[in-house]
Amino acid sequence: MIFNRHSILAILAAIGLATSPLAAQNDAPIVAAASDLQFAVAEIAEAFTAETGMEVRLSFGSTGNFARQIREGAPFQIFMAADERFIADLNTDGFTRDEGDLYAVGRVVLMVPNGSPLTPDETLDNLAEMLAAGQITRFAIANPDHAPYGMRAREALIARGLWEELQPYMVLGENVSQAAQFALSGNAEGGIIAYSLALAPEVAPRGAYALIPEEWHEPLRQRMALLNGAGPVAEAFYAYMKDSTAREIMERYGFVLPEDT
Amino acid sequence: MDWAALWLSMRLAGWTVAILLPVSVLMGRALAYRQFRAKGLVEALVMLPLVLPPTVFGFYLLVAFGRNSPIGDLWQSLFGHQLVFTFQGLVVASVIFNLPFAIQPAQRGFEAIPVEVREAASCSGMSPFASLWKIELPLAWPGLMTAMVLTFAHTLGEFGIVLMVGGSIPGETKTIAIAIYDRVQGFDDRGAATMSAVLVAISLFTIAVTYWLSARVGRRLS
Amino acid sequence: MALEVMAQATRPIPLDIAFRVEPGELLALVGHSGSGKTTLLRCIAGLWRPECARVVVNGAIWLDTIAKIDLPTHRRRVGIVFQNYALFPHMTAVRNVMAAMDAPDRAEAERTLDLVNLHGLADRKPAQLSGGQQQRVALARALARRPQALLLDEPFSAVDRATREKLYGEIIDLRRHLAMPVVLVTHDMNEAQLLADRMVVIEQGRVVRTGTTAEVMSDPEALRAMGIREIAAMLPAIIAEHGVDGLSRLDAPTGPLFLPQVEGAPGTRVRVRIMAHEVILSRVRPEGLSAQNIIAGTIARIVPGVGPGAMVHIDVAGHEILARITRRAADQMALVPGDTVHAIVKSMSVARDHVARAPSTMKTG
């Protein structure tokens, strides 16, 4: 018969193997963190594991996206948002344990890839000139609809009077990491991304940046909270975030820390 | 190289194939052999996941079994947690959006069996099950195999729906496709390249094995 | 062990047929395509159910629409040979046969293949067999089922002429081993006359005539449904000798018959179809004619046709020869029953496949 014993056994074995449940390696709590924390919190998590032997799993994305997922029952135990409004809303609706803690204040920067005709300066004058001269083809920011860093970028551009003009060339990243990716890919003249990303060792060599004046946008008050159902490991990591090692790392990534404000 | 993500993707594809194999046999066969008034409608419904944009489909799946949906609530009451953002949720979504890949080629495979051959099977004393096992499956096998390979490969690569229904939870719903996307966003080009190469290698291997098996079957039949 | 069938339907075609076949008997269902004969066969096999029908085989009810009995096909012990063989393409010949057995037994399957003259080809797949060989496998498979009724659905139509002749002979030989009723569906009158004991002529779903082969073959009403040119008489004969010039002599009760290229050793019993429209009549024994066969006989009856024709039944030594001539000729010759006439048959008008071996246990009639 076509299905001789060997082929049937092979097929069954393959299916059995493929469908076997994973050994329960993953009781480690999952942290939902805004994309601007991509490198900073990864480092902090490593330090956490090295020091305590406990593990957390990290998931990075846009704040707005995470907030939605949490409302739909996503199994995160900590939420580190890039905008405290999201935490407040979740708290009001009963998804967090409490109002959480302000853990950092972020900044946005104009970053351009190496070789870009655009030069980064905090006045954005060069950007305005190039725009007027029709020399801008693509400019990346995070999606202002659900990413706080995108919202701030928009505010800054409006403040500087460049928002309308820049519209036709705008490329929106799903989150600020993707915006950074677009901005530095060589396909755009640059973009507005998170300061913490611009400082990251993986990103810094790829271009040059300039800090955008804080007065041009709402502050990026980044708040975190423990979510309902958070366990002891999550609590430990939460505490660790507020502790000195973590704070040092955050400072290195350009974050302004709460006691300093 | 995110081995956990790769393993997760393989498991997801494996479960999808395991569940869809009997479905493709039963439904492919029913659609191939029978004429009934609603047949056009059923075939269109089966094809639906093919033509819907993945995000639209993902959205509808979320509405259908996310929080505050009857299915979601049922799952919650049975298992204590939501269906979305879990591996099981991905399997459910994966089974649904692979329906066209699993059923269509199987249907073609069964349609290719001449009616007289099936009638001859009954006349030779074979019950419907005996006929399925001894006559129809050996003849429809290439169609079934195509269906399973397409399903497997498609699942390995599916991104949009997995992201919407599963999120990107490491070890639970973070498939290799998402992991690659993640690496790119994290400016880890080497990691992305490595994982992409592995994925391509697996896909090619799967296709090669299928063609080899198919040729063997073909030789047996001719 | 008899097969009784009754079927009435309005869809897909109007049907109103009933007949009975005795064990060991071969009944031919003849009619044009679309007349309903294949549909009826499928009804017996359980592949189609008409609105009102009854099929009883060997006393067991296979189908009774009124009593709501409908045995599924695989539970009916029916053997069917399809027009295009329908062999299982992925199985060898012997496995095809074994597939129909209750207890698959390779040795037994090979014996069945031998029975249908398929030697040494047991392990070939259908794609590696010729049409005639595939047909034999299909027959073997049907027989392996140990059927209580054997159905042959135009089994020879897809096969070339030479093979068909051979198969006729083999079927006739096989009949010795067939104890069950056999139904043969065909549109070929030659085939029907050579193989069948009894015939049912169907036209547009209705029975036009039932009876023994001889009765039906001489009934113009029946044959109008089939085509007037199909009428033929059947004479038994024994092959006497083969001439060096290609003509064979056969000894018939009516005298010697000279026919071209008859196959078979001297002494073989055969039956010869003599087409009615190929027969010329003469009051006196003609001289100087090219025709080699001149048979004297007595007119039994003359049946005028609707058109210009008339069928003359001639009695010769207890057998009948049919001659189809014009009514005008019959009038001009003033033919009446009881007259002596000579039937003239051209040797070349008897085609090769009009001569077949006579079955040893067949009922003649």
Residue numbers in B near C145 (CB within 8 A) = 123-125
Does the pLDDT at position A10 exceed 50? yes
Q: Does A71 touch chain B (CB under 8 A)?
A: yes
Q: How many CB atoms are closer than 10 A to CB C130?
A: 12
pLDDT of residue A23: 38
- pLDDT at A205 exceeding the cut of 90: yes
Residue A17's pLDDT band, with cuts at 50, 70 and 90, is: low
DSSP letters along C84-97, please?
A: T----TTS-HHHHH
Contacts of A3 in chain B (CB under 8 A): 137-138
Contact B116 C86 (CB under 8 A): yes
Q: Say whether B121 and C142 touch across the interface (CB within 8 A).
A: no
Q: Is B14 within 8 Å of A3 when comparing Cβ atoms?
A: no
pLDDT of residue C291: 84
Question: Is B122–C74 a contact, with Cβ atoms under 8 angstroms apart?
Answer: yes
Q: Which residues of A touch B138 (CB under 8 A)?
A: 1-3
Cβ contacts of B84 on chain A, cutoff 8 Å:
72-74
Contacts of A30 in chain B (CB under 8 A): 169-170, 172
CB distance from C95 to chain B under 8 Å?
no
Q: How far is CA A17 from CA A13, B65, B144, B207, C65, in A?
A: 6, 28, 21, 19, 52
Q: Are residues B187 and A26, on separate chains, in Cβ contact within 8 Å?
A: no
Smallest Cβ–Cβ distance between B188 and the set A35, A58, A202 belongs to A202
Distances in Å between the Cα of B181 and the Cα atoms of A204, B87, B167, B200 are: 20, 19, 13, 15
Q: Which amino acid would we find at residue A41? A: V
Which chain C residues are closer than 8 Å to B221 by Cβ? 89-90, 125
What pLDDT does residue C56 have? 94
Tokens 């038994």 correspond to what residue? C236
Interface contact A203-B187, CB threshold 8 A: yes
Give the closest-approach CA distance of B140 to chain A in angstroms. 11
Task: Say if the Cβ atoms of B85 and A69 lie within 8 Å.
Answer: yes
**Helical pair A38-52 and A244-252, crossing angle rounded to 10 deg:** 150
pLDDT score recorded for residue A63: 92
pLDDT for res C254: 80
User: What's the pLDDT score for residue A214?
Assistant: 92
Number of folded domains that form chain B: 1
The helix (H) or strand (E) run that includes residue B11 is: helix B3-33
Q: Where are the alpha helices (DSSP H) in A53-147?
A: 63-71, 84-92, 125-132
The yes-or-no verdict on residue A260 having pLDDT over 70 is no
Contacts of B122 in chain C (CB under 8 A): 46-47, 72-74
Distance from CA of C136 to the nearest CA of B (A): 15
Asked if residues A156 and A165 have their Cβ atoms less than 8 Å apart, the reply is no
Residues in B closer than 8 angstroms to C143, CB to CB, are: none
Report the residue of B88, B178, B187 to disrupt the A interface, i.e. the one with the largest count of A CBs within 10 Å. Answer: B187
Q: What residue spans in chain A does CATH classification 3.40.190.10 cover?
A: 30-105+219-252, 106-216
pLDDT attached to residue B86: 87
- CB distance A203–B66 less than 8 Å? no
* pLDDT at res. A24: 39
8 Å CB contact between B92 and B16: no
CATH of span A106-216: 3.40.190.10
pLDDT tens-digit profile, chain C (365 residues):
799 999 998 888 888 999 999 999 999 998 887 788 888 999 999 999 999 999 999 889 999 999 999 999 999 999 999 988 899 999 999 999 999 999 999 999 999 999 888 888 889 999 999 988 999 999 999 999 999 999 999 988 878 888 888 888 888 888 888 889 999 998 888 888 889 999 998 888 888 889 988 888 777 677 777 776 677 888 888 999 888 888 889 898 888 888 887 888 888 888 888 888 889 999 998 888 888 888 899 999 888 877 788 888 999 888 888 898 898 998 999 999 999 999 998 888 887 778 888 776 444 43
> Hey, what's the torsion of the CAs at A180, A181, A185, A190, to 10 degrees?
-20
Helix boundaries (H) for B34-136? 39-51, 54-65, 70-79, 87-97, 99-111, 115-123, 128-131
Per-residue pLDDT of chain B (222 residues; tens, 9 = 90+): 888 899 999 999 999 999 999 999 999 999 999 888 889 999 999 998 888 888 888 888 888 887 778 888 888 888 777 788 889 889 989 999 999 999 999 999 999 999 999 999 999 999 999 999 999 999 998 888 888 988 998 899 888 888 888 888 888 889 999 999 888 888 888 999 999 999 899 888 888 877 777 777 666 555
CA angle C306, C309, C313 (to 5 degrees): 105
Q: CA A149 to CA A260: how far, in whole Å? A: 21
Contacts of C104 in chain B (CB under 8 A): none
B137–A177 C-beta distance less than 8 A: no
Yes or no, beta carbons of C88 and B135 under 8 Å apart: yes
What ipTM was reported for this prediction?
0.80
8 Å CB contact of B120 and C141: yes
Q: How far is C8 from chain B (nearest CA, A)?
A: 22
Type of residue numbered C299? I
Question: The domain spanning residue B114 has which CATH number?
Answer: 1.10.3720.10
> Which pLDDT value is given to residue A18?
54
CB contact under 8 A, C99 and B222: no
Query: What pTM did the predictor assign?
Result: 0.77
Instruction: Kindly state whether A18 is in contact with chain B, defined as any CB-CB distance less than 8 angstroms.
Output: yes
Closest approach of chain B CAs to the CA of C69, in angstroms?
18
Taking the CA of residue A57 and the nearest CA in chain B, the distance in Å comes to 7
C-chain residue closest to B219, CA distance: C90
Q: Do A178 and B188 touch (CB under 8 A)?
A: no
What is the domain range of residue B128? 3-221
Residue A34 has pLDDT above 90, yes or no: yes
Taking an 8 Å cut-off on Cβ atoms, the answer to whether A74 and B167 are in contact is yes
**CATH no., domain A30-105+219-252:** 3.40.190.10
**B119 at the C interface (CB within 8 A)?**
yes
Q: B35, B113, B124, B139: which to substitute to probe chain C, counting the most C Cβ within 10 Å?
A: B124
Whether residue A246 is predicted with pLDDT greater than 90 in this model: the reply is: yes
